[in-house]
């Protein structure tokens, strides 16, 4: 008795190729893009305020994207972390600009409201000297001329607001002699000059 004929076993089928799943993280991508753009804008003066909403939204979206990767609902955790880092750096830059601007405004206000005391002084041996002094304040200037009977001569002037300097000059007369001018601003000597002879002029300016 012959053995039964069995059909040959089917040939093994090749397994279908496995395609890698592309990373997906829409919130993380949005946070990365917003953080990057916000960081770039945060370095630009005047228009850096545009960065504020961008970096804040970048932090929110990146944090949500990172949370979705932790729960397995999204992949590409690195993109969320990068977006979060960029957004935080951009936010720090925005805060630095605000603090700097506030300091500048405060300094300008203090300068505009402070009182400056200017002391003009002339000494020497000249007997017929002529003294001219000018003080430049906030948007105004006052010029005065005096002919003291004798030296030394001095004058104190207080000006409120933005002090922009002034001038002091002394000129000898026909009798000659020597003269020295000196300017003291808020207790600090800022300018001095000397001259001697007939019709000689000592100028203290540029302070």
Judge if 32 and 84 occupy the same domain: yes
Helix (H, G, I), strand (E, B) or coil at 112: helix
- Alpha-carbon distance 144 to 132, whole Å? 6
**Which contacts of 16-22 are long-range, i.e. CB under 8 A and separated by 24 or more positions?**
21/75
Last residue of a domain, one of 83, 111, 139: 111
Judge if 36 and 103 occupy the same domain: yes
Judge if 66 and 92 occupy the same domain: yes
The confidence score (pLDDT) of residue 20 equals: 55
The confidence score (pLDDT) of residue 203 equals: 94
The confidence score (pLDDT) of residue 137 equals: 63
- The two three-digit tokens of residue 119, written as one number: 């002391």
Judge if 92 and 136 occupy the same domain: no
Q: Are 148 and 125 in contact (CB under 8 A)?
A: no
Last residue of a domain, one of 60, 95, 111: 111
Q: Is residue 18 part of a domain?
A: no
The confidence score (pLDDT) of residue 80 equals: 93
Judge if 41 and 96 occupy the same domain: yes
Judge if 118 and 201 occupy the same domain: yes
Torsion of the alpha carbons at 29, 30, 34 and 37, rounded to the nearest 10: 50
**Count: domains in the chain:** 2
Q: Is residue 5 part of a domain?
A: no
Residues 6+ apart with CB under 8 A from 151: 122, 123, 124, 125, 126, 129, 179
* pTM (predicted TM-score): 0.52
97: containing domain: 26-111
Q: Is residue 94 part of a domain?
A: yes
- Alpha-carbon distance 165 to 206, whole Å? 7
Judge if 105 and 181 occupy the same domain: no
pLDDT per residue as tens, the chain (207 positions): 555 665 666 666 665 555 555 567 889 999 999 999 999 998 887 777 889 999 999 999 999 999 999 888 888 899 999 999 999 999 999 999 889 888 988 887 776 677 888 899 999 999 889 999 987 765 567 788 999 988 999 998 887 766 678 889 999 998 889 999 999 988 899 999 999 999 999 999 877
Phi and psi at 38, nearest 5°, equal -60, -40
Judge if 93 and 107 occupy the same domain: yes
Last residue of a domain, one of 111, 139, 171: 111
Judge if 69 and 120 occupy the same domain: no
């Amino acid at each position: 008795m012959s053995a039964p004929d069995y059909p040959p076993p089917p040939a093994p089928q090749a397994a279908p190729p496995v395609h890698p799943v592309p990373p997906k993280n829409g919130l993380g991508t949005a946070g990365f893009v917003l953080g990057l753009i916000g960081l770039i804008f945060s370095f630009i003066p005047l228009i850096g305020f545009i960065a504020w909403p961008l970096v804040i939204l970048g932090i929110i979206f990146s944090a949500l994207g990172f949370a979705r990767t932790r729960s397995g609902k999204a992949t590409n955790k690195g993109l969320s972390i990068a977006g979060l880092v960029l957004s935080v750096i951009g936010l720090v830059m925005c805060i630095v600009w605000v603090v700097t601007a506030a300091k500048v405004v405060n300094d300008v206000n203090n300068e505009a409201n402070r009182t400056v005391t200017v002391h003009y002084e002339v000494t020497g041996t000249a007997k017929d000297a002529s003294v001219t002094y000018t003080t430049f304040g906030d948007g105004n200037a006052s010029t005065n001329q005096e002919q003291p009977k004798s030296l030394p001569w001095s004058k104190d002037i207080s000006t409120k607001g933005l002090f922009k300097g002034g001038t002091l000059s002394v000129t000898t007369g026909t009798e000659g002699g020597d003269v020295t001018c000196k300017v003291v601003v808020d207790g600090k000597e800022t300018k001095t000059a000397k001259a001697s002879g007939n019709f000689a002029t000592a100028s203290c300016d540029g302070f």
